[in-house]
């Protein structure tokens, strides 16, 4: 038996055993912790985080899903080997960028659509809450990608047929991007094609988040600038992270703030691995403590505030960035 088949067999057995425990005990089977987090655009986002037992089971199901289903061709969020860098890279060299957000993405993904979009059976309680995909469950993004696969294909086919053959298309979770050297993609016909395709699975366009950007302005895809011909992290973000690391090096840093900085340096590493390595090396030499004195604290707080402001300017969707784990230094842009 090959190592791959052994892995499949191991995961299958773990899924069966864990599912049986949840069904027999009823412990954590349908238990979610619901809370809200503020949105960048205002208002709040509802998160439904599974209880520990269900969370571990869903992580096993997610591994099964990756192993037994085909990765959706146009999806770059929450798929192995893909991330915001691979998503932005597709659109480099194009003059016109059309970004469209899907409204209420996860709440619009129903059990009915999920059951027709995956190639193996799952009971609704294993991945859904109140009949829809909960934002916060490990399985939700991957299942949503498979629900959206036919929608993605439909959009590309119709835009190529009726608008222009010169088009590139990707989707990162609820963020759709089309690019072209033809301004025709900005027309109403393209919008209507996307609207109609989304409606086939019950999705709607978020009219407040439709962005058309032309060459001559900063072209951005999932928070990365692409004007230079390759994805780059915006300079303002990198400048503020450098300042925060400099402050940490000279004045010390708390363990929690150090972890936050390491995460943001990982974001820089997607496009600028050498710069990120230097920052990590410098940060590793900073003294770490649970608290720092008041003068240092005030300085660190100012850097942290600038940090967060830059991050908000740079990143389109913080939730989607933080949810996918990868090693940025393994990339070879």
What count of other Cβ atoms lies within 10 Å of the Cβ of residue 226? 22
pLDDT of the residue at 236: 95
Using a 10 angstrom Cβ sphere, with 0-12 exposed, 13-18 middle and 19 or more buried, the burial of residue 62 is: buried
Residue 310 has pLDDT above 90, yes or no: no
- Which 3 state secondary structure label does DSSP give 204? strand
How much is the average pLDDT of 189-209?
Answer: 97
- Confidence grade of residue 29 (pLDDT, cut at 50, 70, 90): low
CB 140 within 8 Å of CB 58: no
- Per-residue pLDDT tens for 231-265? 999 999 999 999 999 999 999 999 999 999 999 99
pLDDT of the residue at 28: 63
Angle at Cα 324 formed by Cα 300 and Cα 254, nearest 5°?
20
- Which 3 state secondary structure label does DSSP give 313? helix
- Per-residue pLDDT tens for 109-163? 999 999 988 877 899 999 999 999 999 999 999 999 999 999 999 999 999 999 9
d(CA 47, CA 90): 31
pLDDT of the residue at 327: 35
Mean pLDDT (the chain, rounded): 88
CB 75 within 8 Å of CB 82: yes
d(CA 119, CA 101): 27
d(CA 53, CA 60): 11
Angle at Cα 101 formed by Cα 95 and Cα 105, nearest 5°?
150
């Amino acid at each position: 038996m090959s190592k791959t088949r052994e892995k499949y067999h191991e995961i299958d057995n773990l899924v069966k055993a864990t599912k049986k425990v949840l069904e027999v005990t009823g412990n954590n089977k349908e238990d979610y912790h619901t809370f809200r987090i503020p949105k960048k655009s205002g208002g709040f986002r509802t998160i439904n985080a599974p209880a520990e037992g269900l969370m571990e089971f869903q992580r096993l199901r997610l591994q099964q899903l990756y192993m037994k289903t085909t990765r959706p061709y146009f999806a770059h969020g929450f798929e192995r080997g893909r991330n915001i860098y691979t998503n932005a890279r597709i659109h480099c060299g194009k003059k016109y960028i059309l970004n469209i957000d899907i409204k209420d993405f996860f709440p619009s993904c129903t059990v009915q659509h999920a059951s027709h979009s995956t190639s193996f059976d799952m009971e609704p309680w294993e991945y859904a809450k109140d009949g829809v995909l909960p934002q916060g469950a490990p399985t939700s993004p991957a299942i949503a990608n498979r629900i959206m696969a036919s929608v993605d294909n439909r959009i590309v086919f119709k835009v190529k047929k009726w608008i222009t053959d010169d088009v590139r298309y990707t989707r990162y979770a609820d963020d759709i991007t089309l690019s072209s050297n033809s301004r025709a993609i900005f027309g109403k016909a393209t919008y209507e094609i996307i609207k109609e395709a989304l409606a086939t699975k019950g999705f709607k366009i978020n009219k407040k988040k439709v962005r058309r950007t032309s060459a001559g302005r900063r072209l951005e895809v999932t928070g990365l600038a692409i004007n230079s011909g390759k994805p780059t992290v915006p300079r303002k973000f990198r400048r503020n992270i450098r300042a925060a690391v400099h402050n940490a090096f000279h004045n010390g840093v708390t363990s929690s703030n150090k972890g936050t900085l390491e995460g943001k340096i990982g974001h820089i590493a997607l496009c600028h691995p050498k710069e990120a390595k230097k920052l990590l090396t410098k940060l590793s030499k900073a003294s770490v403590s649970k608290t720092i004195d008041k003068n240092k604290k005030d300085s660190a707080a100012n850097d942290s505030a600038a940090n967060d402001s830059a991050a908000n300017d740079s990143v389109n969707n913080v939730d989607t960035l933080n949810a996918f784990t990868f090693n940025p230094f393994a990339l070879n842009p």
